[in-house]
Amino acid sequence: MNRAVERILITEEEIREKVRQVGWQISRDYEGKDPIFVGVLKGCFIFMADLMRYVDIDCSMDFMAVSSYRGTTSTGAVSINKDLSQIIEGRHIILVEDILDSGVTLNYLKNYLMVRKPASIAVATLMDKPSRRKAEIYADYSCFEVPDAFVVGYGLDYNERYRNLPYIGVLKPEIYENE
């Protein structure tokens, strides 16, 4: 276990099993619909890669890069750093995110993409933290509901560190409290 991690919240094995289940569910729900999976970078990249291994339908992928966090908190201002490269009009979109926390970023993205007239937009997230929700948005597919703790690993970071951990861990408060 990494020295900056207080405890492991979700093991590598638990993640693998839940991602498999969600991938199979999405495959059943979107059979014949050719959805576009839209990954929200950077945090989604490990979850999305693993999820796609369990999706066995025709689909495509694209990515968006957005920023709204500084340190441990959302700034509330969302900026698009990389937009989609595909036309989404009439297509089913599955937004893939590492964690649905305040919901501000995903709510903004969903509204931003709705203007382009997709057939539908669903949200798939590795983790859902409803206790911190500030926007009216919910996950259509979620692997885990997590408590209000600062979590890292499996793509989630603190100041660009700890994304490489194969599990979800709770970061020790002394790592981020003096920021």
Tens of pLDDT, residues 23-41: 999 999 999 999 999 999 9
Assigned domain for 59 exists: yes
Q: Is residue 23 part of a domain?
A: yes
Q: Would you say 27 and 54 are in contact if contact means Cβ atoms under 8 Å apart?
A: yes
Question: Is 68 or 134 the better-scoring residue by pLDDT?
Answer: 134
Q: Are 96 and 124 in contact (CB under 8 A)?
A: yes
Q: Is residue 2 part of a domain?
A: no
66 contacts 16 by C-beta, under 8 angstroms: no
Cβ atoms within 10 A of the Cβ of 74, count? 18
Give 87's contacts (C-beta < 8 A, 6+ positions apart).
116
Does 160 fall in a domain? Answer: no
101 catalytic per annotation: yes
What is the CATH classification number for the domain harbouring 136? 3.40.50.2020
* Within-domain flag for 45: yes
- Does any domain span residue 158? no
d(CA 154, CA 140): 20
Please give the average per-residue pLDDT across 99-110, as a whole number.
93
Mean pLDDT of 74-84: 81
Q: Which residues contact residue 143 at a Cβ distance below 8 angstroms, ignoring those fewer than 6 apart?
A: 15, 18, 19, 21, 22, 125, 126, 127
Average pLDDT, the chain: 93
The whole domain housing 33 covers: 13-146
Q: Sign of torsion, CA 75 79 81 82?
A: positive
In this predicted structure, what is the pLDDT of residue 10?
A: 98
Task: Give the containing element (helix H, strand E) for 167.
Answer: none
Instruction: Kindly state whether residue 157 falls inside one of the protein's structural domains.
Output: no
Q: Are 37 and 96 in contact (CB under 8 A)?
A: yes
Alpha helix ranges (H) inside 94-149 = 104-114
User: Which of the residues 34, 101, 128, 157 is marked catalytic?
Assistant: 101
Least confident of 15-24, 75-84, 105-114, 124-133: 75-84
Q: Is the pLDDT of residue 144 over 70?
A: yes
Number of domain units in the chain = 1
Q: Where are the alpha helices (DSSP H) in 93-172?
A: 104-114
178 assigned to some structural domain: no
Dist. CA 141–CA 126, nearest whole Å: 8
